[in-house]
C-alpha cells in the first residue's frame, strides 16, 4: 500500500497534469518577476537585457536536462520546462510594465513629499529637521519597496539652507533631489 502511494506521488510529479502545471506556473511567475525586480531596478535606467540572460540561462539548462530525462526515463518533465520558458517570455513582456508602475509610484510619492517639505517651510519659516516631524505622519516615506526616503539639511548659501531628499535603488544608485526656497517651483521634479 505504501509503495503504491509513493509510486502515485512520483507519477504525479514526473507526469504532471494540468493542476500541477498551473500550480507550478503560479509559483514560477512571481519568482521570475522577483528576480527581474531584484537584479534590474536602476531607478532611471531601462530594463537591462543582461538580466534576461541570467534568468534564461538556467531555464535553457533546465529545458535540456528535462528533455534528456524524458528520453532516458520516459517521464514528462519537459512540460515543466516548456511552461517555465513560456512564463519567462510572458514575464519579459510584463516586467517593464511593473517596473514602470514602481518608478511612477516612487516619483508621485517623492513629489508629494517635496511639496509637503516646501509647505512646512512656508508654514514655519524654516526647513524641517527630519521627516519624523509629526507634520509628515500622513505622508509615505518609502520610495521603492523597503527603500525609505532620506532627508538631510544641506549647506547654507546666501542665507538659504537647502535640503536633500534621496533614496537608494536596489542596484545601489543614490537618487537625490536638492531643494532650496529660491529655486523651488511647484512642478514635476527631476531626480538625478
Report pLDDT for 35.
Answer: 76
Across 73-82, average pLDDT: 88
Q: Is the pLDDT of residue 186 over 50?
A: no
Across 81-107, average pLDDT: 83
Averaged pLDDT of the chain: 79
Position with higher pLDDT, 38 vs 28: 28
Across 79-85, average pLDDT: 89
Report pLDDT for 191.
Answer: 58
Report pLDDT for 43.
Answer: 41
> Long-range contacts of range 125-131, CB-CB < 8 Å, 24 or more positions apart?
126/161, 127/153, 127/161, 127/163, 129/153
pLDDT digits (tens, 9 = 90+) for 47-63: 456 667 777 888 899 99
Amino acid at each position: 500500500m505504501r509503495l503504491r502511494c509513493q509510486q502515485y506521488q512520483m507519477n504525479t510529479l514526473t507526469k504532471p497534469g494540468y493542476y500541477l502545471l498551473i500550480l507550478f506556473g503560479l509559483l514560477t511567475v512571481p519568482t521570475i518577476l522577483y528576480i527581474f525586480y531584484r537584479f534590474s531596478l536602476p531607478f532611471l535606467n531601462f530594463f537591462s537585457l543582461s538580466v534576461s540572460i541570467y534568468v534564461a540561462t538556467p531555464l535553457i539548462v533546465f529545458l535540456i536536462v528535462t528533455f534528456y530525462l524524458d528520453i532516458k526515463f520516459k517521464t514528462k518533465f519537459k512540460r515543466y520546462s516548456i511552461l517555465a520558458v513560456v512564463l519567462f517570455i510572458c514575464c519579459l513582456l510584463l516586467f517593464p510594465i511593473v517596473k514602470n508602475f514602481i518608478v511612477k509610484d516612487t516619483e508621485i510619492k517623492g513629489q508629494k513629499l517635496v511639496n509637503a517639505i516646501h509647505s512646512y517651510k512656508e508654514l514655519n519659516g524654516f526647513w524641517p529637521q527630519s521627516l519624523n516631524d509629526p507634520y509628515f505622519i500622513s505622508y509615505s516615506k518609502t520610495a521603492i519597496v523597503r527603500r525609505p526616503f532620506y532627508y538631510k539639511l544641506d549647506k547654507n548659501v546666501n542665507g538659504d539652507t537647502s535640503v536633500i531628499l534621496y533614496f537608494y535603488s536596489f542596484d545601489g544608485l543614490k537618487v537625490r533631489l536638492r531643494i532650496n526656497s529660491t529655486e523651488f517651483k511647484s512642478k514635476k521634479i527631476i531626480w538625478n
